[in-house]
Amino acid sequence: MKDFNLPDLGEGLQEAEIVAWHVTEGDNVVTDQPLVSVETDKAVVEVPSPYSGKIAKLHGEEGDMVEVDTPLVSFDEGEAKDAGSVVGDVQPKGDVKVEEAAVEASGPAVNKAGKATPAVRALAQKMGVDLAMVTATGQGNVITAADVETAAADIAGAEPLKPLRGVRRAMARRMAQASSEVAPTTIMEDADLQDWAEGQDISMRLIRAMTKGCEAEPMLNAWYDAQENGLRIHNKIDLGIAVNTDAGLFVPVLHDVGNRSSEELREGFNALREAVEARTVPAEELRGATITLTNGGPLLGKYTTPIVSPPQVAILGVCRARDEVVAHEGEIAIRRRMPLSLTFDHRAVTGAEASIFLKAVIEDLAQAN
């Protein structure tokens, strides 16, 4: 038999989840025929056959995790073809809507020591309780029978544990990475939209404002290398746009926004959105962001604390515009205002630099056109 191992799907990903098999054992296949759809941290990818031949064995069932360079399919016969890189359809799943990129961790403290008497361990096994998830209240950080019973009662009132898969697993990993690496600081201010002319394209205005911010303070359009303790400032702006789907959070990238016309940006924005909805987003459109925009749109909330995704150093959060009573030119007035929240990595960016960026964004948004 000839084994076909799961190939490297890019960006150093080490594993993938089997979503759906497109063949069964005993099938005869031809080169480039789709074998299986797998979900990585980034998206769903269709893996084609590198050989023509008969399927002898499928290694894994739907829902199983497969590591890179381990057998995926075994063939009875067939001539090998260059199996180098896999080219597949990147398919984010679910309906799309824009939202802010914020995640919080909660839950009981983990009892790493897991100290408990044999009787308590036996009780935990009987009640189906993982001692690692029990909060110890006994003297010397010892888990008591009451602790186990409390944990069992908590579990009984919840749905069974469901492992995070694909995009949600990646989201949890990135948020944990950001929490451990980034020194986040958030500044908040409102943009005044009262003078906007009719028919303004909100998305394009936000993209243009982000460009003005990066031009005013390039330090925020950068990647920070923690190992080298260095900052790489980018000459072009590749804007990540946080997008929520039922499968989890995606951040597709609109490339080189500073050198494209409004018409080109709108066309690119529409194409990206349509590709997400059609589940055909290319992998290159999901990586390489130099700064990120997250727009809560019609969702609730006024301000937010968006999370910077390393190696980026900044993310701008936008919430729903609203009419507010404010002091304007010495008088009380009702003005259209848009809340903005800028989070930056204080390891690489100063408060003054962040303020310069946000000031430029606000000034551009205040323009009539």
C-alpha 248/C-alpha 172 separation (Å) is 10
C-alpha 287/C-alpha 238 separation (Å) is 9
Placement of tokens 């909100």 in the chain: 202
Closest C-alpha among 219, 206, 259, 208 to residue 236: 259
Give the tokens for residue 272. 């990206």
* Domains detected in the chain: 2-75 (2.40.50.100), 167-365 (3.30.559.10)
C-alpha 325/C-alpha 331 separation (Å) is 10
CB-CB contact of 103 with 244 (8 Å): no
CB-CB contact of 25 with 55 (8 Å): yes
pTM of the model: 0.66
> What digits encode the pLDDT tens for the residues 281-302?
676 787 899 999 998 777 778 8
C-alpha 302/C-alpha 191 separation (Å) is 12
Starting at the edge strand that comes first in sequence, how are the strands of the sheet with 97-98 ordered? Answer: 97-98, 243-245, 248-250
Closest C-alpha among 336, 337, 339 to residue 304: 339
Placement of tokens 């993209």 in the chain: 207
pLDDT tens for the chain, 369 residues long, are: 889 999 876 555 678 888 889 999 999 999 889 999 887 765 677 888 988 999 999 999 988 888 888 999 999 865 444 443 344 333 334 443 333 333 333 344 444 445 888 888 889 888 888 888 898 888 878 899 889 988 888 888 777 777 777 667 777 888 888 888 999 999 999 999 999 999 999 999 999 999 999 999 999 999 999 989 999 999 999 999 987 767 667 788 999 999 999 999 999 998 887 777 766 667 678 789 999 999 877 777 889 999 999 999 999 999 999 999 999 999 999 999 999 999 999 999 999 999 999 999 999 999 999
> What digits encode the pLDDT tens for the residues 189-204?
999 999 999 999 999 9
